[in-house]
Protein backbone atom coordinates (compact mmCIF):
# COMPACT_ATOMS: atom_id res chain seq x y z
CA UNK A 1 0.00 0.00 0.00
CA UNK A 2 1.49 3.40 -0.97
CA UNK A 3 2.29 5.77 1.88
CA UNK A 4 2.57 9.53 2.33
CA UNK A 5 4.42 11.33 5.11
CA UNK A 6 3.22 14.92 5.55
CA UNK A 7 5.40 16.99 7.88
CA UNK A 8 4.17 20.30 9.23
CA UNK A 9 6.09 22.71 11.40
CA UNK A 10 2.90 23.44 13.36
CA UNK A 11 -0.58 21.99 13.84
CA UNK A 12 -2.86 23.11 10.95
CA UNK A 13 -0.03 23.67 8.45
CA UNK A 14 -0.58 20.58 6.35
CA UNK A 15 -4.36 20.97 6.38
CA UNK A 16 -3.94 24.45 4.88
CA UNK A 17 -1.26 23.52 2.35
CA UNK A 18 -2.22 19.97 1.40
CA UNK A 19 -5.44 18.91 3.12
CA UNK A 20 -7.36 18.24 -0.09
CA UNK A 21 -4.48 16.27 -1.57
CA UNK A 22 -4.08 14.14 1.54
CA UNK A 23 -7.82 13.40 1.60
CA UNK A 24 -7.75 12.51 -2.10
CA UNK A 25 -4.83 10.10 -1.77
CA UNK A 26 -6.45 8.51 1.29
CA UNK A 27 -9.53 7.87 -0.88
CA UNK A 28 -7.23 6.25 -3.44
CA UNK A 29 -5.98 3.82 -0.80
CA UNK A 30 -2.82 5.53 0.41
CA UNK A 31 -1.85 5.44 4.07
CA UNK A 32 -1.09 8.97 5.28
CA UNK A 33 1.05 9.78 8.30
CA UNK A 34 1.23 13.30 9.74
CA UNK A 35 4.30 14.49 11.65
CA UNK A 36 3.94 17.78 13.56
CA UNK A 37 7.32 19.11 14.61
CA UNK A 38 6.44 21.74 17.24
CA UNK A 39 4.17 21.54 20.23
CA UNK A 40 2.02 24.25 18.67
CA UNK A 41 1.40 26.72 21.47
CA UNK A 42 2.24 30.38 20.92
CA UNK A 43 1.29 33.95 21.77
CA UNK A 44 0.30 36.08 18.80
CA UNK A 45 1.08 39.74 18.12
CA UNK A 46 -2.15 40.79 19.85
CA UNK A 47 -1.19 38.98 23.05
CA UNK A 48 -3.59 36.05 22.61
CA UNK A 49 -2.15 32.76 23.86
CA UNK A 50 -2.87 29.38 22.28
CA UNK A 51 -1.91 26.31 24.28
CA UNK A 52 -0.19 23.10 23.21
CA UNK A 53 -2.94 20.85 24.52
CA UNK A 54 -5.79 22.53 22.66
CA UNK A 55 -3.87 22.71 19.38
CA UNK A 56 -2.84 19.06 19.63
CA UNK A 57 -6.43 18.09 20.35
CA UNK A 58 -7.58 20.07 17.32
CA UNK A 59 -4.91 18.35 15.22
CA UNK A 60 -6.28 14.94 16.17
CA UNK A 61 -9.83 16.03 15.32
CA UNK A 62 -8.73 17.38 11.94
CA UNK A 63 -6.79 14.20 11.20
CA UNK A 64 -9.87 12.09 11.82
CA UNK A 65 -11.78 14.19 9.31
CA UNK A 66 -9.07 13.70 6.67
CA UNK A 67 -8.67 10.00 7.45
CA UNK A 68 -5.01 10.13 8.49
CA UNK A 69 -3.67 6.84 9.79
CA UNK A 70 -1.30 8.19 12.46
CA UNK A 71 -0.37 11.58 13.92
CA UNK A 72 3.13 11.88 15.36
CA UNK A 73 3.89 14.81 17.67
CA UNK A 74 7.34 16.22 18.38
CA UNK A 75 7.70 18.83 21.10
CA UNK A 76 9.96 21.58 19.80
CA UNK A 77 8.96 25.13 20.74
CA UNK A 78 7.13 27.26 18.19
CA UNK A 79 9.48 29.76 16.47
CA UNK A 80 12.50 27.78 17.76
CA UNK A 81 12.49 24.74 15.47
CA UNK A 82 16.06 23.55 14.83
CA UNK A 83 17.24 21.93 11.61
CA UNK A 84 20.44 20.24 12.80
CA UNK A 85 21.61 16.71 13.40
CA UNK A 86 19.39 15.64 16.32
CA UNK A 87 16.04 16.47 14.76
CA UNK A 88 17.17 15.14 11.37
CA UNK A 89 18.00 11.84 13.09
CA UNK A 90 14.57 11.79 14.73
CA UNK A 91 12.81 12.34 11.40
CA UNK A 92 15.17 9.80 9.79
CA UNK A 93 13.78 7.25 12.23
CA UNK A 94 10.20 8.11 11.23
CA UNK A 95 11.08 7.70 7.55
CA UNK A 96 12.77 4.37 8.27
CA UNK A 97 9.62 3.16 10.02
CA UNK A 98 6.98 4.53 7.65
CA UNK A 99 8.93 4.12 4.39
CA UNK A 100 6.88 6.77 2.57
CA UNK A 101 6.49 6.85 -1.19
CA UNK A 102 5.74 10.59 -0.98
CA UNK A 103 7.14 13.18 1.45
CA UNK A 104 5.36 16.54 1.68
CA UNK A 105 6.49 19.51 3.75
CA UNK A 106 7.05 23.25 3.48
CA UNK A 107 8.74 25.45 0.92
CA UNK A 108 12.32 26.58 1.65
CA UNK A 109 11.50 30.23 0.85
CA UNK A 110 8.52 30.42 3.18
CA UNK A 111 8.95 33.47 5.40
CA UNK A 112 8.24 31.62 8.68
CA UNK A 113 11.46 30.43 10.28
CA UNK A 114 9.92 27.14 11.43
CA UNK A 115 8.71 26.39 7.90
CA UNK A 116 12.20 27.05 6.53
CA UNK A 117 13.64 24.66 9.12
CA UNK A 118 11.09 21.98 8.21
CA UNK A 119 12.03 22.27 4.53
CA UNK A 120 15.72 21.87 5.41
CA UNK A 121 14.88 18.79 7.49
CA UNK A 122 12.92 17.28 4.59
CA UNK A 123 15.81 17.85 2.20
CA UNK A 124 18.30 16.27 4.59
CA UNK A 125 16.14 13.25 5.33
CA UNK A 126 15.24 12.56 1.69
CA UNK A 127 18.83 12.69 0.45
CA UNK A 128 20.26 9.98 -1.80
CA UNK A 129 16.84 8.94 -3.10
CA UNK A 130 15.50 7.60 0.21
CA UNK A 131 12.09 8.99 -0.73
CA UNK A 132 11.22 8.91 -4.42
CA UNK A 133 8.68 11.75 -4.43
CA UNK A 134 9.40 14.92 -2.46
CA UNK A 135 7.07 17.92 -2.65
CA UNK A 136 7.00 21.40 -1.11
CA UNK A 137 3.55 22.79 -0.40
CA UNK A 138 2.30 26.19 -1.49
CA UNK A 139 3.22 29.15 0.67
CA UNK A 140 0.14 31.03 1.85
CA UNK A 141 -0.64 34.33 0.09
CA UNK A 142 -0.12 36.55 3.14
CA UNK A 143 3.53 35.44 3.34
CA UNK A 144 5.82 37.87 1.47
CA UNK A 145 8.00 35.24 -0.23
CA UNK A 146 5.19 33.64 -2.21
CA UNK A 147 6.89 34.88 -5.42
CA UNK A 148 9.62 32.25 -4.94
CA UNK A 149 7.16 29.34 -5.08
CA UNK A 150 7.24 27.61 -8.50
CA UNK A 151 4.45 25.01 -8.73
CA UNK A 152 4.81 22.13 -11.18
CA UNK A 153 2.49 19.49 -9.70
CA UNK A 154 -1.24 20.25 -9.48
CA UNK A 155 -3.76 18.00 -7.74
CA UNK A 156 -7.48 18.17 -8.52
CA UNK A 157 -9.17 18.47 -5.12
CA UNK A 158 -12.65 19.27 -6.39
CA UNK A 159 -14.02 16.12 -4.75
CA UNK A 160 -12.21 16.65 -1.45
CA UNK A 161 -12.21 20.41 -0.92
CA UNK A 162 -15.08 20.24 1.57
CA UNK A 163 -13.15 17.66 3.59
CA UNK A 164 -10.21 20.09 3.60
CA UNK A 165 -12.48 22.91 4.78
CA UNK A 166 -13.95 20.80 7.57
CA UNK A 167 -10.43 19.88 8.70
CA UNK A 168 -9.51 23.58 8.81
CA UNK A 169 -12.65 24.33 10.80
CA UNK A 170 -11.62 21.64 13.30
CA UNK A 171 -8.85 24.00 14.41
CA UNK A 172 -11.38 26.12 16.27
CA UNK A 173 -8.73 28.40 17.78
CA UNK A 174 -7.14 29.29 14.44
CA UNK A 175 -10.46 29.33 12.58
CA UNK A 176 -11.71 31.96 15.03
CA UNK A 177 -8.43 33.91 15.01
CA UNK A 178 -8.47 34.28 11.22
CA UNK A 179 -12.10 35.34 10.93
CA UNK A 180 -14.04 32.08 10.79
CA UNK A 181 -15.66 31.69 7.38
CA UNK A 182 -13.51 34.53 6.04
CA UNK A 183 -10.56 32.12 6.35
CA UNK A 184 -12.55 29.41 4.57
CA UNK A 185 -13.50 31.79 1.74
CA UNK A 186 -9.87 32.82 1.24
CA UNK A 187 -8.55 29.27 1.22
CA UNK A 188 -11.32 28.29 -1.19
CA UNK A 189 -10.43 31.22 -3.46
CA UNK A 190 -6.78 30.18 -3.45
CA UNK A 191 -7.76 26.64 -4.40
CA UNK A 192 -9.98 27.97 -7.18
CA UNK A 193 -7.12 30.08 -8.55
CA UNK A 194 -4.76 27.10 -8.52
CA UNK A 195 -7.43 25.04 -10.27
CA UNK A 196 -7.91 27.70 -12.94
CA UNK A 197 -4.27 27.23 -13.97
CA UNK A 198 -4.89 23.65 -15.10
CA UNK A 199 -8.62 23.50 -15.80
CA UNK A 200 -9.84 22.06 -12.47
CA UNK A 201 -12.52 23.61 -10.34
CA UNK A 202 -10.27 23.45 -7.26
CA UNK A 203 -6.63 22.42 -6.92
CA UNK A 204 -3.64 22.35 -4.62
CA UNK A 205 -0.18 22.74 -6.07
CA UNK A 206 3.33 21.79 -5.10
CA UNK A 207 6.89 22.52 -6.09
CA UNK A 208 8.59 19.29 -7.10
CA UNK A 209 11.85 18.56 -5.33
CA UNK A 210 12.03 15.03 -6.68
CA UNK A 211 9.57 12.82 -8.55
CA UNK A 212 9.68 9.40 -10.20
CA UNK A 213 6.90 7.64 -12.13
CA UNK A 214 5.29 5.96 -9.14
CA UNK A 215 2.58 8.64 -8.81
CA UNK A 216 1.45 7.91 -12.36
CA UNK A 217 1.13 4.13 -12.39
> If you average pLDDT over residues 40-58, what whole number do you get?
84
What confidence tier does 140 reach under pLDDT thresholds 50, 70, 90? Answer: confident
Considering the chain, what percentage of its residues have pLDDT values greater than 90? 80
- The pLDDT assigned to 142 comes to 65
- The pLDDT assigned to 58 comes to 96
- The pLDDT assigned to 41 comes to 77
Contact between 125 and 92 under an 8 Å Cβ cutoff? The reply is yes
CA distance 101 to 172: 32
- The pLDDT assigned to 143 comes to 62
pLDDT tens per residue, range 98-113? 999 999 999 998 889 9
> If you average pLDDT over residues 129-138, what whole number do you get?
93
Q: Where are the alpha helices (DSSP H) in the chain?
A: 13-27, 52-66, 85-98, 113-125, 161-169, 172-177, 181-198
pLDDT at 185 over 70: yes
Structure-model confidence comparison of residues 144 and 24, the more confident one: 24
Residues 141-176 as b or e (16 or more Cβ within 10 Å = b)? eebeeeeebebebbbbbeebbebbbbbbbbbebbbe
Considering the chain, what percentage of its residues have pLDDT values greater than 70? 96
- The pLDDT assigned to 40 comes to 82
pLDDT tens per residue, range 190-214? 999 999 999 999 999 999 999 998 7
pLDDT at 217 over 60: no
Q: State the chain's mean pLDDT as an integer.
A: 93
**Residue 1 CB: number of other CB atoms within 10 A?**
7
Residues forming beta bridges with residue 102, ordered by sequence position: 4, 133
pTM > 0.85: yes or no: yes
- The pLDDT assigned to 96 comes to 96
Contact between 135 and 206 under an 8 Å Cβ cutoff? The reply is yes
Amino acid sequence: MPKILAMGAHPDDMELEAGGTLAKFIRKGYEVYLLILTSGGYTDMKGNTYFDEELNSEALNASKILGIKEVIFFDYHTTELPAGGKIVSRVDAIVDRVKPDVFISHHPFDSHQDHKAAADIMFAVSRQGRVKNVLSGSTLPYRPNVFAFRPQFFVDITDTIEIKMDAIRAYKTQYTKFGGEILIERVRAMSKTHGWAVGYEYAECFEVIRMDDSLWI
